[in-house]
Chain A
């Protein structure tokens, strides 16, 4: 999001504090002063991660701090679930398995760890999937269940969804 705030001491901190208050995680702060600018306000761009449904709370907290929000950028995928797959993952086209999730447009595989003990032995892999909403995640897991059935892979799901 792009913020505009008074160019005075403590203002940047005042803008950042509410982010951690709502459980957010700051990924980057971009703060560039135009050379020769005489404006008494400062433009700051912040890239952040927020748990689902916390954005409105953050917006009102920032407004209370006197920070003007110029623009809220694109929301990224933030619902996260880790599953483990066991089976002949390479022989059954792992990139196709991943693509079935990625091609949905509402969920994506963003992390993959693999363990391949020997050729012809079953391999194990851990996949973390991200999506924007819980419903999208359920849909993505549903797709993965079907793919695993089709490819005879064992899918191990988490007991609880981890946000």
Chain B
């Protein structure tokens, strides 16, 4: 998989864009008053915009509570956005009625994080994989069995395993069943919600490789959600970094890993423990914890923990703007209206 250098600037209209998320916001009521009206909100996802091209793998990275999973759930219609648009294949899903939307739902599938909770323990593997085909009526009844066998083979499971129950499988095998189920309806976009974080190290590589192979084979598009930048690096073409409900940085993979602009991305990258002695990096240890997303303070969400904080950071929210070609970052260090910073001159070079 190579880095796709010629991705059009997200501002440009592009027919190749499969998913266009615009100003997506999701608020959850944190406290309610006596009448059940919300008095304060969890800002789970706050004004998030990004695009995914056909055949691309987009990585969405952030720590727990940053809203990455909520974004995924809104895409597959498990949650309704509070505001914003999800334009999929040219159609605005958020403007559709439920009945209308259902026909588009099958085009976006989800692979779950927990392979133990995501398979019904009382159903056979074959039935689990057949169910989406039957529910959406896309395969004639007599062809279902053949198709199930085909899918099992795709994910590296033997045919005869179709009559078994999930508990007879290991975590890695269950995750592969989950992948087969997602593939069953020939989706256009697959949202992978931390698909390997619950698996053993030696099994993680199996699932990552499989996802990679399948992408190639079926021309799939992925939204790959993860909490560590190292996991998405291998599978993604472009990466977005989220913090407390907002996107901090979006860039093609090569540019992001070689030259992270946002101080948060820099810290996140440096926090990945290095395995070889030759790749030891200078470590940035962030102070403090991720603040509560309930009624977050004004200004940049990261300001409280930032090691390059400016005076303005506590007051105004930095805009996500293009700093380098295709490399966008929400940080006041790169604000052209502010006095130039060291970072800005470096980025400009």
A binds B: no
Q: Which residues of B are in contact with A by a Cβ distance under 8 Å?
A: none
